[in-house]
Amino acid sequence: MPEIVNQAIDPDSASAPTTVLPGTQIEPRPAPVKTRWGVLRHRHFRNVWFGALASNIGGWMEGIGVQWVMAVETARPEWRDAGLPSAPVMMGYLAAAQLGPTLLLGILGGLTADRVNRRTLLLVTQFAMMLIAAGLAAASYFGFATPLVLLGLSLLQGITLAFNTPAWQVLTPRLVPRHELTEAIALNGLQFNLARVLGPALGGILMAAYGPTVLFVVNTLSFVGVLAAIRTTPDAPAPPRTGETAWRQATDALSFVFHERGPRAVFLAMLIFAALAAPLMRMLPLFAKDVYLPSDPVYALVLRFMAPDVAGEFIFGLLLAVLGAGAVVGAVMVRRIPPWYPKHHFIPLSIFLSGLAITTFSPVHSLAAALPLLFFAGIFWLWAFNSSFAAMQLLVSDAMRGRVMAVCNTAVFGAMPLGAVIAGAIGDLLAPRIGPTAGMQAGVGILGAALTIAGIVMLTWRTPEVDGLQPGDPGYERRPGFFLGVTAATHRQRPPGPAASEAPGDRPA
């Protein structure tokens, strides 16, 4: 699975840096070339796009298999009787194993991406992930895919991801011209979320029919296409050395993220969203297995076509597919956002709406009602995550991109398992009073409510520097107000300025 988050990056930034510092003016970009194939007419981008689609489908299939096996194994009486951690807590540990290594190694991964041949690094990490996927398939086939084995293999994958993600993030700039950046971003987002629809849907069907092993085998084979596609891309030597030490390069990246108002605001939005929204994804296997009842009309419809003992697997895949379908629709809808609506309004609005959808979804016991709520959560999830990452990429130069994005990856991938662990701990705390299932739902809902409040705060006190605006620029306005943040009324008539060239009408999905 080559991508975890689809970030698009500035393709010509080696000659035209995009770092936005005080006084910098962003020049308007040429309109994208209109052809039948659009940005897919670039052969290398097209090959990687289709290869990544296949690999991401396999990755999502593996993901639902691992989470389902973990949920089933930790629900066994012998596991509970041994006094081992509960299923919600183990789901949090699984997230920590998969994403936690980036918290420790993410900056090292970014430094590596800025100091070695980037194509070679990506080939090595993708091949390593294929071997780990093969190990998971073997463990499942031979019957030793225990929770501890799943955690161990997930930890190895997490370590590899710490180096794979920054290498992947600097791939797109080599494949498309600068003025077609937005087209590439939107198409990458569409590809990733199409995989999030197809992978869980196919995975749920295959797992119900043949068990989880087949999902792990499919994912192993799916790496072949993306490895072949990456191998054919132009070589990517490391950027020229500046003589700076690794420590100095890392501190420069940290200084950029934390000392510049715009990057700092985007970073905090990423961090908050990752910590408070991620538990929804991690707890979906438990929702599928324990929350929804066979008396529900949608559940009853599923039972007409499959046995009760495998219906849960299919419903888990259905939940993830609906979340992904919402993200696909979100990728299309974001193009309809008015061009005058700026990113420093759009990002907090997306966070607010995501929190509202998650909070509303968490207590629902009807599958028929939960599916549309999850669909809307998918729309806003796509808006919040991808627009935040794209905003950061448009604020940073290519020479520092690997390190800066590694800082963001470190925070985001570190916050995701932390949020899942916190949600699991809340569920355990409330379980003696309201039951384990209701406690798990409450853990997800409480963090969703906190995300809603965070979105309200961000919409009320906004940061125009997210769009590259500085005091005195047209459209620079810091007057507090929630409804002013939602409507962005002061931006409707503003003339073209620094932020107009990258307005959310161009915003990536």
Token output for 479:
């007057």
Q: Which residue has the higher pLDDT, 194 or 274?
A: 274
pLDDT at 499 over 70: no
How high is the pLDDT of residue 359?
Answer: 97
* Confidence category of residue 441, pLDDT binned at 50, 70, 90: very high
- pLDDT tens, residue by residue, 375-401: 999 999 988 987 888 788 778 877 777
* Confidence category of residue 141, pLDDT binned at 50, 70, 90: very high
How high is the pLDDT of residue 223?
Answer: 94
Percent share of the chain, pLDDT over 70? 85
Contact in structure between 72 and 207 (CB atoms under 8 Å)? no
Phi and psi angles of residue 342, each rounded to the nearest 5 degrees, phi first: -80, 160
How high is the pLDDT of residue 498?
Answer: 45
How high is the pLDDT of residue 502?
Answer: 42
DSSP per-residue string spanning 90-132? HHHHHHHHHHHHHHHHHHHHHHHHTTS-HHHHHHHHHHHHHHH
The Cα 194–Cα 240 span in angstroms is 37
Which value, in Å, is the radius of gyration of the alpha carbons in the chain? 22
In angstroms, the Cα distances linking 339 to 188, 220, 390, 474 are: 21, 42, 16, 15
Q: How remote is the C-alpha of 181 from its chain's centroid?
A: 19
Q: Which residue has the higher pLDDT, 310 or 105?
A: 105
Work out the average pLDDT over 15-20.
Answer: 31
The Cα 125–Cα 385 span in angstroms is 24
Ramachandran bin of 382, using left for φ above 0, alpha for ψ from -120 to 50, beta for the remaining angles: alpha
How high is the pLDDT of residue 335?
Answer: 73
Token output for 474:
């047209």
How high is the pLDDT of residue 242?
Answer: 64
The Cα 146–Cα 501 span in angstroms is 52
Q: CB neighbours (10 Å) of residue 336? A: 7
* Confidence category of residue 353, pLDDT binned at 50, 70, 90: very high
pLDDT at 7 over 60: no
* Confidence category of residue 438, pLDDT binned at 50, 70, 90: very high
- pLDDT tens, residue by residue, 64-116: 899 889 888 888 888 877 778 887 788 888 888 887 787 788 788 878 877 78
The Cα 132–Cα 157 span in angstroms is 7
Work out the average pLDDT over 468-491.
Answer: 85
The Cα 70–Cα 74 span in angstroms is 6
The Cα 457–Cα 302 span in angstroms is 42
Residues, the chain: 509
Q: Where are the domains of the chain?
A: 39-239+246-506
Contact in structure between 178 and 17 (CB atoms under 8 Å)? no
Token output for 46:
């097209």
Work out the average pLDDT over 253-275.
Answer: 92
Ramachandran bin of 23, using left for φ above 0, alpha for ψ from -120 to 50, beta for the remaining angles: left
Lowest mean pLDDT among 63-77, 291-305, 341-355: 291-305
pLDDT at 421 over 50: yes
DSSP per-residue string spanning 203-217? HHHHHHHH-THHHHH
Tell me which fold the domain 39-239+246-506 belongs to: Growth Hormone; Chain: A; (1.20.1250)
